[in-house]
Amino acid sequence: MTVKLHRCSGQWVKIKGHPCWRVEKSLMDMGIEYERVPGPGPKSERTAVIEGTGQQKYPAIQFEDGSWYREESKDMERTIREGRLMEKASQRQAAEGGAGSTELH
């Protein structure tokens, strides 16, 4: 399953403390296939992320079933490195009776 990583457009920023890079690097390190979706900088223009997560913050992950996952980047990194990323999609499906949905935080 390929996921979409919605992240800032500052893809050149590759420092440990940068939230988008932290999550992207964990996806790479864990061998998870992903598509990078760089988004607009201004928070008010982050339409896809806002509609998917109810938040304006990056990064966010969109699953093939249309569900979304968004937490603080340190928590997202931990989830990915512990091998629990795909549980986030299945948890949403189970909570919604098997249908894909958006996750609101």
pLDDT tens digits, one per residue of 14-71:
778 899 999 999 999 999 999 999 999 889 999 999 999 999 999 999 999 999 999 9
* Residue 100, domain member (yes or no): no
Could you tell me if residue 103 is inside a domain?
A: no
Q: How many domains does the chain have?
A: 1
In the predicted structure, residue 94 carries a pLDDT above the cut 60: no
- Positive or negative torsion for Cα 9, 102, 30, 18: positive
What span, in angstroms and rounded, lies between the C-alpha atoms of 42 and 12? 18
State the CATH number of the domain containing residue 67.
3.40.30.10
CA dihedral 66, 56, 58, 17 (to 10 degrees): -150
Segments forming the whole domain that contains residue 36: 3-95
**DSSP letter, residue 86:** H
